[in-house]
Structure 1
Amino acid sequence: KACPNCCFCALFHFTVVPVILKALTYDEKRGSCSVGSNVRDAACYVCWAFARAYDPSELIPFINQISSALVIAAVFDRDVNCRRAASVSYRILGTFPHGIDILTAADYFAVGNRVNCYLTISVYIAGFPEYTQPMIDHLVNMKINHWDSVIRELSTKALHNLTPRAPEYMANVVLPRLLPLSVGTDLHTRHGAILACAEITHALCKLAEENNRSVTYYFNEKSLEGLKQIHQEVLAAICLFFFLYLSVCQFFFLTVCTLIEKLSLSKMPFRGDPIIGGWQWLINDSLRSLPLVSSTARQHIKESAVSALAALCNEYYINEKGEADPALQDELVTRYISGLQNTEEMIRCGFSLALGALPRFLLKGRLQQVLEGLKKATIISPEDVSFAQARRDALIAIAKVCQTVGVKGEGSQEEYVCKDNVTQIYATLLNGVTDYTTDSRGDVGGWVRKAAMTSLMEVTLLLVQNETELINANICKQIMCWLAQQAAEKIDKFRAHAGSVFLTLLHFDRPPVPHIPHREELERIFPRSETETLNWNASSEAFPRITQLLGLPTYQYYVLLGLSVSVGGLTETTLRYSAQSLFEYMKKIQNDSSEMESFCETLLKVFEDNLRNDRVSVPLLTMLDQMLANGCFDIFTIHPFPVKLFNLCKEEIKRSKDVRKLRSSIGVFCGLIQFEGDMREKVLFQLFLLLCHPFPVIRKTTASQVYEMLITYSDVVDPAIMDEVMTILSDTNWEAELTVVREKRNHLCDLMKVPKPQLVSKVKYGNVLLSFFLCNDQLFY
């Protein structure tokens, strides 16, 4: 009897289904993008339409093909809209094998994260035998040669995770298929195949080790030779393409370093084989990195090479006694230390990270030499002042080396972190926190400071857990104070990192970090319960907390130094909340003369220590202007503080041509007029000097601010002459010629009974004419 649906079945089997299956995986690269996502999305819609148009029983002959294709699309498609469309179509059809379980794992929201799809959901679905082989075949046939490198890399990691689901199939079918592709001509396929060989080999060897089998259980002689052959073929390709296609060479360096790492971790039986020397050569060359490749690509190459070096050394350079060959050790350590003084920054970076990755048996007996080399790489010299990345990587390497060799208080400084070298290590790391180098990229010293803070935390916790007595009170005080300063500064990400490290050390209790100054007060300000919730990136949350440290004598100087940069900065939110927090603290201590005197002494100390250090002094002048305007020093009438502050401000702007600094100082001088007595005459004389400054903008700004000052402090001028003084200040064109301006300025001096600055000489220095003024037996520029 003829089947009533035979025409439908024939049409579906021979025409519709093949087209739908092809459309679900259609992807074609055109230029820098691809076409195909709309086709794949439409194919999912067609599958959805089948469920709406036909009875489920009519689709049973085709259900396995369609289900596999939809599951693959839902998990492995590049575009989220296609993954979600496939997931919805799968849900509506609803008659697939293990449909309920798969729908739960790969629902509409779960497939939104591509990494989760490739590395987690795929492993769960591959646990059902109907889908295991189709998923693996799809990755091998369609994804490891994908035009998008991210998809290729995710696919190889997915193959690693899927290997335990079908180890024999991977070893006997997939790996032999990939080996020829890894030395083929298509670069995308070659890249993906090499990574896939590396990941599958690593997974198979781990599986063999877990089952107490030989690492070569899943590999025949041909497979082992094929894995070794990849390196030789890639070297030939690098030689061919090096001067033509640097991006191609970048791919090859990254890929082969990953291959070396995975084969080393797999404990492949290559000990003593000449291939090891070839691997080491390629790692060393990768550490030097390509000179014309982008900095981001170079960083990726270095990181890949460092990982490969660590795995290679741990597997092939250690003998049965747990030691290294002395000649090999000398060659590696000497090569990497000598590279730390290279004139190329990226070479310094690579060799610093390489030293940090060396295992303990290669550092044994050479620790002091390594630490000295890394210390030199952190020192700023005129020739390498812009080498911030090299200094950053050297500081990171110091912490890694310390963690590798371990701690032994009475041990040798050539083998352990001990009492003989711990001070030197801390001195190097603490010096890194003071790096404020800037160049065209901005505050590049921030990278160094961040690495220094991280390394300080790692070394300190290492010592706390092993030899607490190696941490003395002075070192701990310096660490916490420098972290407090960084936590009060203006750049959000560095402030957040400093705050995180500060709280980690404060609340660490296995065992606690010793000698933390004012621990009880700090734990009250920063309770353990709020460690995770305090948002250091938000100025509104960070500054109200950090300014409370101003009341702790040990931290006051450093917090005030950090706040000076924030309160006098240019970022609106940082400036607003830092200034608001500082003024609130000043109000609390306003009536406490001893607290105020201590604060003012610290403030003057900060100013004195950073005189002519524009990074601090310029924003500090702005902060002082705001503090004087807000009446923070009203408690003082006759006190040396205003005089010292005046002298420091005058010294700061001496011979300065920095317009921002000069304008900030004008505000400070105007604020100092509030202090009566001899101070007013000194301030007025200084302001009148600025009224005839060579820069017109300074003359104009001075006149404007003096006008506002006289309105605020009307007792400065005799009311009888007030109108005339104000008229001169407001009506004079202070941007006119100096001879005209000087006449007006001298008239003001006569009216206000302030000594007139007298021009005594002119000295020509190069092309610059210097004028000097004499008043009260003092010479002024």
Structure 2
Amino acid sequence: VVPVMLKALTYDEKRGACSVGSNVRDAACYVCWAFARAYEPAELIPFINHISSALVIAAVFDRDVNCRRAASAAFQENVGRQGTFPHGIDILTAADYFAVGNRVNCYLTISVYIAGFPEYTKPMIDHLVNMKINHWDSVIRELATKALHNITPQAPEYMANVVLPRLLPLSVGSDLHIRHGAILACAEITHALCKLAQENNRSVTYYFSEKSLEGLKQIHQELSSRQLYRGLGGELMRPAVCTLIEKLSLSKMPFRGDPIIGGWQWLINDSLRQLTLVSSAARQRIKESAVSALAALCNEFYINEEGEADPALQDELVTQYVSELQNSEEMIRCGFSRALGALPRFLLKGRLQQVLEGLKKVTVISPEDVSFAEARRDALIAIAKVCQTVGVKGDGSQQEYVCRENVDQIYATLLTGVTDYTTDSRGDVGGWVREAAMSSLMEVTLLLVQKEAELIHANICKQIMCWLAQQSAEKIDKFRAHAGSVFLTLLHFDHPPVPHIPHREELERIFPRAEKETLNWNAASEAFPRITQLLGLPAYQYHVLLGLSVSVGGLTETTLRYSAQSLFDYMKKIQSDPSALEGFCETLLKVFEDNLRNDRVSVPLLTMLDQMLANGCFDMFTEQE
């Protein structure tokens, strides 16, 4: 019975779009549970190691939560009744019924603890290599390779001499899923082995044979020559090989000056150029993995002993990437914007102005690229990343640092992003741009505050806080929450405080420090009673009213109810103060005048006005007459 049951514990077969096998694995766990009750400990001793390993593997690595829990329960029963399972109590404590509920935790944390016991190390590694890196579900394949990375320190020799040589042929095999899993596994294991060698003060290649190093190099060339980067398979191959490039670069492999570096650079550039041709589901993953690979590749292989870049290479790379920013395809602009944001400092040195100008052009809305919201979003994110990379030096050169000459231009670009209200068939796509602009404004401001706060001018700080207050009063929960969180981060930042925030004391009274984490900006019932209090502060009145008019005159029932109620409460409070009421009305008229031709504001504003008149907010003026 035991051999059949061990086979059933890992039975998983794909039929069409789904898999069958979870009920078989569940039943096999039940059989193991029955074993514990049916046999005397002495009878099971010859099979103990096989059964315990199989149950541990099912409890930690099964795809289905029910099977993991069933295996954990069966293991517990065996430990309790048989008493012969190796390290039973320790494993039970780590992998109990509740702990195995979270799959990521099982793969990345619990598995490492259990692999620390020598009886389980090799069976777990073998199971991952034989059954999981070729699994039909890509999420499981990726988790399995990360688990191999984490388990490598427990058996480095076995990984280097047995597992890696077995994976290298699979990484250029014919089956797409096996190839994908094997490439990622090679990347993760190599990185783990190199880290281990460095920690023990050995050379990076200590664990690798010449054949293994050559095999790792050959993967890209082999896939490229067989044209496996094309079509649907390419959507898995590109991010996988980009991950391989990233991990080999982080491992500090001795490939400097090798022709393979050119091949890797070609793949990264080509993946960013082909973003328009891949499915929308795979785009983000390919873009992120290519950008991560680029950053690691540049940091390792493009810097010379003096910490400088080769001028010809720098010129070619930066000029090529900046020219792609004006491509007529939105996705290509996105990819190369993020790529410029990922470049290390030595490649941006002397080229900062060129890069910032290029990214600034992407953020400008022109008639032919109105709907390129994603490109504008990625360019704004990249600007903040570039600023963080080059650092701040007030009297430095504008080709090398964020300094007096370019800080206003950077802020101007980021502030235009907060005013992006583009809509198309997908809805309020400008929201993505506004969200990125708010994050970037926060990152750049905090960077300047910590380095040279005097570069932040009072009018810039006022603009930032007013725009954030406006966004915090608007109708879409997600963007309101983001704006509110950024607003409070800047207000309560202490190392040192952000200078020139208008009405700081009143703001700290409205938004106490203690509530920074607990205030739920997503809930209209919590956000609007706070944000309407800003109407009493002259600097914020115009922008908060502009944001509120869109919420009060909007269509969403909860937003409308709480925003209107908060506004009416504020109006009641100022009924006895003619000058405050007059100031409010003047601001209201100014908002209307400024947005006469803008339906996004003027239509809800009239709806809001209708509600205010019906509510008697302006009765004081009629009584006077």
In the superposition, the TM-score normalised over structure 1's length comes to 0.79
Q: Counterparts in 2 of 1:286-301, with a 5 A limit? A: 286-301=271-286
How many percent of aligned residue pairs carry the same amino acid? 87
Corresponding position: 1:193 with 2:182:
yes
Q: What displacement does 1:255 show?
A: 0.8
Counterpart residue number, 1:215: 204
Q: What displacement does 1:240 show?
A: 5.5
Q: What displacement does 1:63 show?
A: 1.1
Give the letter for the 1:69 counterpart.
Answer: A
Q: What displacement does 1:638 show?
A: 8.1
Counterpart residue number, 2:116: 127
Counterpart residue number, 1:453: 438
Q: Counterparts in 2 of 1:111-510, with a 5 A limit? A: 111-237=100-226, 239=227, 242=230, 246-510=231-495
Q: Within 1, Cα distance between the matches of 2:126 and 2:581?
A: 76
Q: What displacement does 1:291 show?
A: 2.9
8 A contact 1:67–1:90 mirrored in 2: yes
Give the letter for the 1:544 counterpart.
Answer: P
**What is the DSSP-based 3-state SS (H/G/I as helix, E as strand, rest coil) of the residue aligned with 1:341?**
coil
Q: What displacement does 1:416 show?
A: 0.1
Counterpart residue number, 2:515: 530
Q: What displacement does 1:233 show?
A: 1.3
**What is the DSSP-based 3-state SS (H/G/I as helix, E as strand, rest coil) of the residue aligned with 1:417?**
coil
Deviation readout 1:462-493 (Å, 9 max, x if unpaired): 00010110001111000000000000000000
**What is the DSSP-based 3-state SS (H/G/I as helix, E as strand, rest coil) of the residue aligned with 1:289?**
helix
Q: Within 1, Cα distance between the matches of 2:146 and 2:228?
A: 29
Corresponding position: 1:103 with 2:92:
yes
Corresponding position: 1:592 with 2:577:
yes
Q: Within 2, Cα distance between the matches of 1:97 and 1:51?
A: 15
**What is the DSSP-based 3-state SS (H/G/I as helix, E as strand, rest coil) of the residue aligned with 1:218?**
coil
Give the letter for the 2:488 counterpart.
Answer: L
Q: Within 2, Cα distance between the matches of 1:166 and 1:542?
A: 54
Q: What displacement does 1:295 show?
A: 2.1
Q: Counterparts in 2 of 1:20-169, with a 5 A limit? A: 20-94=5-79, 95=83, 96-169=85-158
Could you list the runs of 5+ residues in structure 1 that have no partner in the other structure?
1-15, 640-675, 677-781
8 A contact 1:506–1:513 mirrored in 2: yes
**What is the DSSP-based 3-state SS (H/G/I as helix, E as strand, rest coil) of the residue aligned with 2:485?**
helix
Q: Within 2, Cα distance between the matches of 1:296 and 1:21?
A: 37
Q: Within 2, Cα distance between the matches of 1:302 and 1:450?
A: 20
Give the letter for the 2:491 counterpart.
Answer: L
Q: Within 2, Cα distance between the matches of 1:236 and 1:625?
A: 69
Q: Within 1, Cα distance between the matches of 2:458 and 2:280?
A: 41
Q: Within 2, Cα distance between the matches of 1:588 and 1:129?
A: 73
Counterpart residue number, 1:602: 587
Q: What displacement does 1:293 show?
A: 1.9
Q: Within 1, Cα distance between the matches of 2:448 and 2:275?
A: 38
**What is the DSSP-based 3-state SS (H/G/I as helix, E as strand, rest coil) of the residue aligned with 1:440?**
coil
- Cα RMSD between the aligned structures? 0.9
Deviation readout 1:532-562 (Å, 9 max, x if unpaired): 1000000000001111111111001000000
Higher RCO (CA 8 Å, separation ≥ 6 residues): 2
Give the letter for the 2:129 counterpart.
Answer: V
Give the letter for the 2:152 counterpart.
Answer: T
Q: What displacement does 1:247 show?
A: 1.6
Q: Within 1, Cα distance between the matches of 2:228 and 2:497?
A: 58
Counterpart residue number, 1:682: none
Q: Within 2, Cα distance between the matches of 1:45 and 1:327?
A: 66
8 A contact 2:469–2:484 mirrored in 1: yes
8 A contact 1:569–1:575 mirrored in 2: yes
Counterpart residue number, 2:528: 543
Q: Within 1, Cα distance between the matches of 2:553 and 2:229?
A: 53
Deviation readout 1:683-718 (Å, 9 max, x if unpaired): xxxxxxxxxxxxxxxxxxxxxxxxxxxxxxxxxxxx
Q: Within 2, Cα distance between the matches of 1:487 and 1:262?
A: 41
Pair member with larger Rg = 1
Could you list the runs of 5+ residues in structure 2 that have no partner in the other structure?
none
Give the letter for the 2:189 counterpart.
Answer: I
Give the letter for the 1:219 counterpart.
Answer: F
Q: Counterparts in 2 of 1:653-664, with a 5 A limit? A: none
**What is the DSSP-based 3-state SS (H/G/I as helix, E as strand, rest coil) of the residue aligned with 1:420?**
helix
Q: What displacement does 1:290 show?
A: 4.0
8 A contact 2:275–2:331 mirrored in 1: no
Q: Within 2, Cα distance between the matches of 1:433 and 1:143?
A: 46
Give the letter for the 2:598 counterpart.
Answer: N
Q: What displacement does 1:67 show?
A: 0.3
Counterpart residue number, 1:773: none
Q: Within 2, Cα distance between the matches of 1:595 and 1:448?
A: 35
Q: Counterparts in 2 of 1:718-757, with a 5 A limit? A: none
Q: What displacement does 1:288 show?
A: 1.3
Give the letter for the 2:140 counterpart.
Answer: I
Q: Counterparts in 2 of 1:514-663, with a 5 A limit? A: 514-637=499-622
Deviation readout 1:232-280 (Å, 9 max, x if unpaired): 111123x2672xxx22111111111111000000000100000000000
Q: Within 2, Cα distance between the matches of 1:28 and 1:292?
A: 32
Q: What displacement does 1:409 show?
A: 0.3
**What is the DSSP-based 3-state SS (H/G/I as helix, E as strand, rest coil) of the residue aligned with 1:291?**
helix
Q: Within 2, Cα distance between the matches of 1:633 and 1:419?
A: 48
Q: Within 2, Cα distance between the matches of 1:393 and 1:541?
A: 31
Q: Within 1, Cα distance between the matches of 2:92 and 2:43?
A: 22
Q: Within 2, Cα distance between the matches of 1:235 and 1:636?
A: 77
Q: Within 1, Cα distance between the matches of 2:452 and 2:275?
A: 42
Give the letter for the 2:34 counterpart.
Answer: A
Q: What displacement does 1:56 show?
A: 2.8
Q: Within 2, Cα distance between the matches of 1:122 and 1:199?
A: 16
8 A contact 1:289–1:298 mirrored in 2: no
Q: Indicate the larger mover: 370-379 or 54-63.
A: 54-63
In the superposition, the TM-score normalised over structure 2's length comes to 0.98
Q: Within 2, Cα distance between the matches of 1:20 and 1:197?
A: 31
**What is the DSSP-based 3-state SS (H/G/I as helix, E as strand, rest coil) of the residue aligned with 2:303?**
coil
8 A contact 1:250–1:290 mirrored in 2: no
8 A contact 2:229–2:238 mirrored in 1: no
Q: How many residues align?
A: 621
Give the letter for the 2:107 counterpart.
Answer: Y
**What is the DSSP-based 3-state SS (H/G/I as helix, E as strand, rest coil) of the residue aligned with 1:34?**
strand
8 A contact 2:276–2:329 mirrored in 1: no
Give the letter for the 1:183 counterpart.
Answer: V
Counterpart residue number, 1:644: none
